[in-house]
Amino acid sequence: MMDSVTSMTFIIALYIFMLAAFTGYVVISRVPSILHTPLMSGSNFIHGIVVVGALDALFNATTLTGQIIGFVGVFLGAGNVMGGYVVTDRMLAMFRPSQKQTPEKKGQP
């Protein structure tokens, strides 16, 4: 695995982590409080990318244990992705300015 095109040394990994952490910090630091809840679920959606790792693991599974764990991983990851997206999307769709206030309602009975 270390000879793939995306392999990296530990130091390089630290550089990437540093940059990513800084990015997350800067991006959030000025968010208005009105968006805190959708933002929590939006970032929740983003870490759903773990499903990609789980898929790779399942694809390369050779034992039954591996398959079971991989299956569980993909299921959980997919749930994270889809749930996070749907919930965020629903919340954000509700924030609209008064001018174009359409009477149609979504979801909720």
> Site residues for its own copies, window 27-66 (CB under 8 A)?
27, 30
Residues in 88-107 at the binding interface with other proteins, rule: CB under 8 A: 88-99, 101, 103, 105, 107
Which two tokens mark 101? Answer: 């206030």
Q: Which does 61 bind (CB under 5 to 8 A by kind): other proteins, its own copies, none?
A: other proteins
Residues in 25-54 at the binding interface with other proteins, rule: CB under 8 A: 25-54
Shortest distance (Å) from residue 57 CB to other proteins? 4
For position 7 contacting its own copies by CB under 8 A, the verdict is yes
Specify the amino acid at residue 38: P
How many chain residues are in contact with other proteins, going by CB under 8 A? Answer: 100
For position 8 contacting its own copies by CB under 8 A, the verdict is yes
Whether the Cβ atoms of residue 91 and residue 37 lie closer than 8 Å to each other:
yes
What number of residues does the chain have?
109
Give which of 90, 14, 6 is closest to 52, Cα–Cα. Answer: 6
Shortest distance (Å) from residue 2 CB to other proteins? 5
Give which of 36, 49, 39 is closest to 80, Cα–Cα. Answer: 49
Which two tokens mark 28? Answer: 């959030």
